[in-house]
Chains A and B, each alone.
Chain A
Amino acid sequence: MLLKLIYLTSAIVSILLTIRFALVFFAQADADLLSWDQAARADEVVRLAK
């Protein structure tokens, strides 16, 4: 019983924490995270096209 309680609490807390982090991640992802890689990729495409 106690063991189940421990696992259940851990599962709930870690899922909530993951959601919290996912929200932070996706909020930044569009704005900043992808910009550099996309820019780099675009440069690469231009370079190859030349």
Chain B
Amino acid sequence: MLPFCLILGPSLSAAVIPSFIAFPLTVLAILFLYENSYEGSAEKKLMGFSFLFALSVTSPLLVSSASWVMVEIFGVLLTSLVFGFYFQARQSNLSKSYKICAILSFLLLTLKYNYGLFVLLVLFFGEITRNLDWIRSQRFSLKTFRPLFKPVLYPAYALFFLIMWIALTEGDKINVFGFKLSLTNIYNPIMYLYLYLLIVVVFKLKKNWLKIKEKLKIGQKELLLWGVLPVGIFLALPDKIKAIIKNLEAGRKVKSGFSLEQVMFYLRSLGQDYSLFLPLGIFVLVLFGLAIIKIKRTPSGIRYLMLFFLLGYVLIGFIFQLREGRFIANFVPALWVISAWMVDFISKKISIKYKAIVAAFISILAIVISLFSPILVHKAKKQPWAPWARHQMIYRSLINPVIEKAENAQNVFVSGNKDLGFGPLLEWKLQIAHFKQRNFKLKLDDLDAEKNNDHTFLEMINRADIEMIFFYIVQEGESENRLKRWTQLLKQSDRYELIEEEFYEEPKPFHLLIFSKKFTFSS
């Protein structure tokens, strides 16, 4: 990006150019992944190729992501390339392809480690399956576990118990010879544990390298030296492990527990945000379902991609609690490639002549839609995370008032009866707007949640010492009653005053109430 900024100046226009360049490369990388996902000539894969091409050049989310000024598009590009080269290496058995794959996976991890970790997990699984014979030949007995009791690991166990103690009891502050030690967060102990184990493992590997080298299959040396080792060292850099833990925490802190709505959100997102037409999105998901049913006949590459997609879906749909279509972006190429394989599988008995006609028809249709149809631009512009969408009504009517009114507050509470999907955006914007100036705390909560009753609400307000409260109500009904009661409670408490009440028409008709804590001399 630096060269563009030097030429065009440090502007947003310069910042988006790399993303624009990445888009065509991503389309090619997805095709490259499909080319290498299983053995077979281009003629046999013709239908799949055209289907994949049509999906990637008409996908609103992928197209709009080219102007996101974010790294999602690079993540999709590198994920496709890593898998593409890995499958190519598995087929050709060339150590060169393994080396490229290892370097690319390291690059992916440095760019977006939450994507990289998933890719590495699947590659690790793939490599384990290559060494299954060796693993089976091992006789597991008590002797196998002997290295685990060596004194060199005792400090690691001590750190592990310390982490468990902090995690379970929330830690404590202790006084050692007059020095105050704060043992209240797990990030630093985990980083020390990681560093210690990394050093132990590297020394062990170095010591036994000749023995280990004999047992490695083709390419595994390259994967270890060019992929695993740089990744291991990269994660040992300050704050990297902490960032991963924080990332997972950020995804869990909005709500807790399993919700079917969350699982359905990402299914809907796959159908709507990634496909121009909903029926096409549903068709892709149906093809994926069929591929799972036909798992016995699927090539191993496609199976790895299934594993990759399912791993991502389980984490994002079931555990991760933030709702944004872009979070699933990394796993979309896998979904598309699997569905393209299914298209080829279904059409394998059709003669090449008809296949060519259908493939040409699909491709031409996709070209016409992507280059000339206004639908694609319209839908891509509506993607909630595209820069243009950020400046739509949600900003003016909700995010802006919160940012402006909460200017001097430390603790802010925002609650509403509908998830308008602005939570993460608001949090991010507040962080940016007040970066390093104060310790800003934002609490978001669902007004309709069962657990929230009048008592818990007052308790929360008192405990957290909230200074600003924002309520927004989208529709009248039960929520309006609850809001009336809470407004009454706040007025009765004599600690808060209603400073503003607004009605907005966009993005949906809603009612915004802003309360501020009264200033008293005692406080």
Contacts and interface: CB of A to CB of B under 8 A. Distances in A.
B234 interface: no
B23 interface: yes
Nearest to A38: B12
Given A6-B53, A34-B12, A14 B24 contact: yes
B380 interface: yes
B387 A13 contact: no
A42 interface: no
Residue in A6, A18, A22 whose Cβ sees the most chain B Cβ within 10 Å? A6
Contacts of A32: 388, 391
A3 B43 CA distance: 9
Contacts of B43: 2
Interface string A28-39: 110011111100
Nearest to B35: A3
Nearest to A20: B371
Nearest to B391: A36
Interface in B329-380: 363, 366-367, 370-371, 377, 380
Nearest to B429: A40
B67 A6 contact: no
A25 B367 contact: no
B20 A6 contact: no
Given A21-B66, A21-B380, A36-B391, A14 B12 contact: no
A37 B432 CA distance: 11
Nearest to A37: B12
A8 to B, nearest CB: 10
B388 A13 contact: no
Residue in A14, A20, A33, A40 whose Cβ sees the most chain B Cβ within 10 Å? A14
A42 B377 CA distance: 31
B363 A21 contact: no
B387 A33 contact: yes
A11 B380 contact: no
B49 interface: yes
Contacts of A29: 12-13
A7 B84 CA distance: 15
B469 interface: no
B388 A28 contact: yes
Which secondary structure dominates chain B's binding surface? helix
A2 B42 contact: yes
Interface residues of A, number: 30
A24 B377 contact: yes
Contacts of B66: 18, 21
A16 B370 CA distance: 9
Nearest to B432: A40
Contacts of A7: 28, 31
Given A3-B35, A11-B28, A17 B370 contact: yes
B102 interface: no
Given A2-B43, A13-B57, A21 B20 contact: yes
B381 interface: yes
Residue in A10, A20, A24 whose Cβ sees the most chain B Cβ within 10 Å? A10
A3 B366 CA distance: 18
B42 A3 contact: yes
A31 B24 CA distance: 27
Contacts of B13: 26, 29
Interface in B25-45: 27-28, 31, 35, 42-43
Contacts of B23: 14, 17-18, 21
Contacts of B24: 10-11, 14-15, 17-18
Given A21-B63, A26-B13, A14 B27 contact: yes
B46 A13 contact: no
Contacts of B388: 25, 28, 32-33
Interface in B380-436: 380-381, 387-388, 390-391, 395, 403, 407, 433
Nearest to B377: A24
A17 B391 contact: no
B416 to A, nearest CB: 22
Contact of B46 (A2, A22, A33, A34): A2
Residue in A7, A21, A40 whose Cβ sees the most chain B Cβ within 10 Å? A21
Contact of B381 (A6, A18, A24): A24
B63 to A, nearest CB: 6
B71 interface: no
A44 B57 contact: no
Contacts of A18: 20-21, 23-24, 66
Given A16-B371, A17-B57, A9 B363 contact: yes
B307 interface: no
Nearest to B370: A17
B274 to A, nearest CB: 16
Given A9-B363, A17-B371, A18-B21, 6 more contacts: A3-B42, A6-B42, A6-B53, A14-B24, A14-B57, A36-B390
5 contacts: A10-B27, A21-B67, A33-B12, A33-B391, A34-B12
